[in-house]
Amino acid sequence: MFSRLLVRHLLVILVIILMLFSRSLPAQAANIEPYITRYLHITEQISLDLDGQGNTKEFSPQQLSDGKQLFSSNCINCHVGGATLPDPEVSLSLTKLKGATPPRDNINGLIAFMRQPMTYDGSEETYWCRQVANSLLSQQQVESLAAFVLTAAKKAPGWGTELFSN
């Protein structure tokens, strides 16, 4: 008798926990851009190169989703699918980001470029890309934007290439 009562209580507790857990998942997932899970296959935190010196920073799917939204509202007019419409030779592919002077294939390098856009060879300021001032995007926002671009460059099919299909 005692064991049946214990089992019932444990089952009730288990059902309550499962109900609470299942209610919290859709709320979290509803805020994540489908692109993040479907094309980038990101469902948990990832580490990205912070500075090219071996330091990394963790980014959540929500931060990448925020970065995707910022990209869509601020960058997509010139960078459709990672291409660069004003200068097709300099895309947002990982190879091109890495080959820039200074390299833009890490969070700080890409942020430095966004804060003060320079030509691909780093010799002078460029006006092809809009400067992202602190008053336009906070440090957290620009980090999320950089994290999205770098993750897309690593994982999105065809990102920054002529083969872009998604």
Q: Where along the chain do its domains lie?
A: 1-30, 32-155
Among candidate residues 107, 126, 108, the one with its CA nearest the CA of residue 116: 126
Residue 61 in tokens: 């799917």
Residue 38 in tokens: 């479907």
Peptide bond into 117 cis (omega under 30): no
Mean pLDDT, range 22-26, rounded to an integer: 44
Least trusted range by pLDDT, from 100-104, 129-133, 142-146: 129-133
Burial zone of 67 (CB within 10 Å; 0-12 exposed, 13-18 middle, 19+ buried): buried
Burial zone of 103 (CB within 10 Å; 0-12 exposed, 13-18 middle, 19+ buried): middle
Amino acid identity for residue 5 in this structure:
L
Q: Tell which wins on pLDDT, 15 or 62.
A: 62
Mean pLDDT, range 58-67, rounded to an integer: 98
The whole-angstrom separation of Cα 13 and Cα 97 is 52
The whole-angstrom separation of Cα 39 and Cα 37 is 6
pLDDT score, position 5:
60
Q: Confidence class of residue 8 from pLDDT cuts 50, 70 and 90?
A: low
Amino acid identity for residue 143 in this structure:
E
Residues 155/165, Cβ–Cβ less than 8 Å: no
Q: Which class is 32-155 in CATH?
A: mainly alpha
Q: Tell me 138's DSSP state.
A: -
pLDDT score, position 13:
59
Residue 54 in tokens: 């071996």
Residue 136 in tokens: 């336009």
39: three-class secondary structure by DSSP: coil
Least trusted range by pLDDT, from 15-29, 62-76, 142-156: 15-29
Residue 131 in tokens: 């400067």
**Cα–Cα separations (whole angstroms), residue 20 to 26, 34, 87:** 11, 23, 51
Residue 1 in tokens: 């008798």
Q: Confidence class of residue 54 from pLDDT cuts 50, 70 and 90?
A: very high
